[in-house]
Structure 1
Amino acid sequence: MKKYIKLSVILAVFITFISCDDKIDVDVPEAEPRLVIEASLDWEKGTSGNNQTIKISTSTPYFQTTLNTSVIGASVKVTNNNSNAVFNFTDQNDGTYTINNFIPVLNDSYTLEVIHNGETYTATENLLPVSPINAVTQSLEGGFDDEVLDVSIFFDDPVNEDNYYMFRIKEESDLFASLEAQSDEFTNGNEQEEFFEKGRDDENELEEFNPGDIVNIKLYGISQRYYNYISLLSEQYDSAGNPFASIPAEIKGNCVNVTDESNYAFGYFRVTEFDQVDYTFQ
């Protein structure tokens, strides 16, 4: 009798595990596509900054990965609000719009205008300067883990100014870069330091920095509004998978649809100066 009971229990457990593999279809509501404007006019120190590219596409359903969302046929221009110089971008018929005679001027205001499907989108930003990178060093002591290499970036912050910065750090072998935003609220006028390290992975040492690894480091001077924007994006990205984190919210950039305010665009128009350096770990 006991054998029959044990066998029944085993069969019940086995059937339960099988039933867990049943496919469940869930209807996920899909929002209407919105325009996505990736307009980062970045001027590297020591260059002319004449060549710039703006990318325009549309948003896609969450699980859609094969749809071509490139937007062609749009009208794209940028105006210097101080000199009234107009820079018209050329449609490359692949979702990118380019120019080779853009003239960046520090501290000038620029306005982007995109016209698509009879609707006009605009955004305005100032081209802010950035201090050059003084030095880049490596250490086992500057980060959170004293067994993992980290990299530190040093630069001088101007005195008596409110400044905001963005760091873009990308190892050669990585698919995506890491972004960090920083303000000088508590360190105004002093030499600034920002460090970055990768978490230790005992199963895969390639996940952390190792001697011979090459990283590209970029330092941008950004506006306070863009600082707030990128900080929110980073916060939501870093808290992904955390059951105690706040519910992610839709983050709007500075691109406004002046024809139909409710049909706003995703993305951000920024105009920045940046300095960069490639560093090889020893």
Structure 2
Amino acid sequence: MQNPIKYITLLFLCTLVSCSDVIDVDVQTDTLRLVVEASLDWEKGTTGNEQSITLRTSTPFFETQSTDVIGAEVSVTNDNTGEVNLFTDQNNGTYTTTTFNPELGASYTLEIVYDGETYTASDTLNAVPDITEVYQDTEDGFDDETIELHIVFTDFEEEGDSYFFKFKRPQDLLPTLELGDDEFINGNEVDWWYEIDDDEDEEIKPLAPGDVVNITMHSISRPYYNYMDIVIDQMGGVGIFSATPVDVKGNCINTTNPDKYAHGYFRVTQKNTITYTVE
């Protein structure tokens, strides 16, 4: 009688050999698009004349380095006065100006001419309230043993103010981004608090004495608020109750070829920046 173990072993080896074929997987590729990083942020208390815009092209799936855009024509126009600010090509994907003149309440239009196509985008510059106090305690957060920071300001009486907050410690890989509006706080003093939850999987620790937190508060337009609301939701990842990530379109329109829109957003904001050391 033949030993059945020999036949089983032979069959197993044949199975291993038959699984050695290389399978090529076709990855979907999107249209190569212009990527616009155009955040004209005016630090309150400064002239705001120095501004920069970064342009690059989108990156294919398996590539890690983007391509800097050189040779574009970049300008920003104050729609109220017609004043045109030309941005100088630094030959590294960055375009700069030292003559920007920020005007509260003004609408600004960005124009980019690149590779025979014209892109435009518009945004409005709104005033940001003064931050009157920054303090810490453990009373208002989700965990009464965790330190939270409080940013106090008074919302303007005019309705329709929208705010964008960014909190960042040097040891954090990414900042925390938050949005707010004055729908229920119009004209009142606001105490905006910020707390970090302990996350062992992401190696994120709550605020602790000695931590340095860089805080930025922007006053933003409502269209930018709506855009960032989607972006922040997408950054949260995909869970059971989360929306599937989608291609988030900014406000940069290709007037030459509308289907070839750009990624990114053109924003104009006034901001407050504060550095706080946790005690």
- TM-score, normalisation: structure 2: 0.89
Does the 8 A contact of 1:82 with 1:108 survive in 2? yes
How far apart are residue 141 of structure 1 and its match?
2.4
Q: Distance in 2 between matches of 1:202 and 1:111?
A: 45
1:56 and 2:50 matched: no
1:200 aligns with 2:198: yes
Aligned partners of 2:159 and 2:210: how far apart in 1? 38
Shift in alpha-carbon separation, 1:186–1:25, aligned structure 2, 3 A: farther
Q: Report the alpha carbon displacement of residue 60 of structure 1 after superposing the two structures with TM.
A: 1.0
Are residue 170 (structure 1) and residue 168 (structure 2) matched?
yes
Q: What SS class does the counterpart of residue 78 from structure 1 fall into?
A: strand
| Corresponding residue for residue 43 of structure 1 | 42
Q: In the aligned structure 2, how far is the partner of 1:214 from the partner of 1:245?
A: 32
- Whether contact under 8 Å (1:148, 1:200) holds in the other structure is no
Secondary structure of the residue that 1:207 maps to in structure 2?
coil
CA distance in 2, matches of 1:205, 1:136: 26
Q: 1:150-229 to 2 correspondence within 5 Å? A: 150-201=148-199, 207-229=205-227
Q: Is the 8 A contact 1:133 1:276 kept in 2?
A: no
Shift of 1:203: 8.5
Equivalents in 2 of 1:204, 1:245: separation in Å?
Answer: 19
SS of equivalent residue, structure 2 residue 232: helix
Query: Is the 2:58–2:66 Cα contact (8 Å) retained in structure 1?
Result: no
Deviations 1:178-218 (A, max 9, x none): 21111111111111222222221469986221100001111
Confirm or deny that 1:233 pairs with 2:242: no
Using the aligned pairs only, state the percent identity.
49
Measured after TM superposition, the shift of residue 25 of structure 1 is 5.3
1:125 aligned partner, one-letter code: D
Letter matched to residue 236 of structure 1: Q
Partner of 1:100: 98
Kept in 2, the 8 Å contact 1:76–1:115? The answer is yes
Q: Distance in 1 between matches of 2:256 and 2:165?
A: 35
Match of 1:27 in 2: 26
Q: Any unmatched runs of 5+ in structure 2? A: 1-14
1:231 alignment partner AA: D
Q: 1:264 — aligned with what?
A: 261
Per the alignment, do residues 141 and 204 of structure 1 end up closer, same or farther by CA in structure 2, a change over 3 Å counting? Answer: farther
Q: Give the counterpart of 1:244 among 221, 241, 246.
A: 241
Whether contact under 8 Å (2:40, 2:267) holds in the other structure is yes
Give the letter aligned to residue 129 of structure 2.
S
Question: Once superposed, what is the RMSD of the aligned Cα atoms?
Answer: 3.0
DSSP-derived class of the 1:225 partner: helix
Q: Deviations for 1:117-166, whole angstroms, at most 9, x for unmatched residues?
A: 01000011111111011111212222222222221211110114211000
Secondary structure in 2 matching 1:227: helix
Task: Provide the C-alpha distance between the structure 2 equivalents of 1:189 and 1:167, rounded to a whole number of angstroms.
Answer: 19
Report the residue type matching 1:224 in the other structure. Answer: R
Q: Unaligned regions of 5+ residues in structure 1, if any?
A: 1-15
Q: Provide the residue aligned with 1:8 in structure 2.
A: none
Deviation readout 1:160-181 (Å, 9 max, x if unpaired): 4211000011112223222111
Q: Deviations over 1:208-258 (max 9, x none)?
A: 2110000111110100000000011001111x1314322222111111111
The residue type paired with residue 94 of structure 2 is T
Q: Tell me the CA shift for residue 108 of structure 1.
A: 1.0
If the length of structure 1 is used for normalisation, what is the TM-score? 0.88
Matching residue's letter, 2:31: E
Of stretches 228-237 and 201-210 in structure 1, the one that deviates more from structure 2 is 201-210
Partner SS state of residue 232, structure 1? helix
Which residue identity does 1:251 align to in structure 2? Answer: V
Partners of 2:253 and 2:235 lie apart in 1 by: 24
Within the candidate set 254, 267, 274, 2:251 is matched to: 254
How many angstroms apart in 1 are the aligned matches of 2:75 and 2:229? 28
How many correspondences in the alignment?
Answer: 276
For the Cα contact (< 8 Å) 1:161–1:188, is it kept in 2? yes
Change (3 A) 1:151 1:33: same
TM-fit CA distance, 1:72: 0.6
Query: Which letter maps to 2:32?
Result: P
Determine helix, strand or coil for the equivalent of 1:89: strand
